[in-house]
Amino acid sequence: MALRIIIADDHRLIRQGLKSLLESQGFEVVGEAEDGRSAVKLVKKLDPNAVIIDISMPELNGIEATRQIHHETPQVKVIVLSMRSDRQAVLAAFAAGTSGYLLKESAFEEMIIAIKVALEGRTYLSPAIAHVLVRESIEQWSVSAEPMGRGISSREREILQLVAEGRSSKEMAESLYVSVKTIETHRKQIMNKLNLHSIAELTKYAVREGVTSL
């Protein structure tokens, strides 16, 4: 039995092109919508296996349409096909309930993969978008991590980990080829910067911040 698909895009040529490609692969395109509101109505009426939907559409945008489809017919998988690759659009789409996100510039073979992954109950994110999210997440983490660390240096983080792992000042000094006094000075500076007052508090901080997994 052919998988039933609805295509929602405000550009007729894109709908026709997708329909032709999908049907050539054995899918059954049971409906087309040129706006988000029509897409929601068609999904409730035709109960497809999946919906391929654009974000930028009149009447009701693809994000809100996805949210309504996911809420009212959660068994239907929604796959976003968009020109937008920005972090805000991608995260908003997944928060709304989409099972897949890929770009209109993607190869058709990727669309087939996204549909199959979604119907298996998994999530598909185009590699073309994934690297953007990873890069932006790293940049955002780097910005937020510094205030949290109160300017802790790389060497101080190294010592913080050793403290959390239960190493003595002598062991740390031997490991880092410095004096015990230097270790104790670093430890005091770390505690002052973090406003912590005991080894136990330092250990909790180190675990919470991912410095160590102990």
Lowest mean pLDDT among 29-38, 81-90, 128-137, 166-175: 128-137
Q: Please list the residues that pair with 168 across neighbouring strands.
A: none
CB 98 within 8 A of CB 68: no
> What's the whole-number average pLDDT of the chain?
88
Confidence at 142, pLDDT banded by 50, 70, 90: low
Question: Does pLDDT of 75 surpass 50?
Answer: yes
* E strand intervals along 43-180: 50-53, 77-82, 100-103, 124-125
- Give the CA count within 13 Å in the CB-facing half-sphere of 132: 15
Percent of the chain at pLDDT above 90?
Answer: 57
Please tell me the distance from the alpha carbon of residue 33 to that of residue 29, in angstroms, as a whole number: 11
Region 130-142: mean pLDDT is 71
Question: Does pLDDT of 165 surpass 90?
Answer: no
pLDDT at 180: 92
pLDDT at 144: 55
* pTM over cut 0.85: no
Domains of the chain: 4-127 (3.40.50.2300), 146-208 (1.10.10.10)
Confidence at 59, pLDDT banded by 50, 70, 90: confident
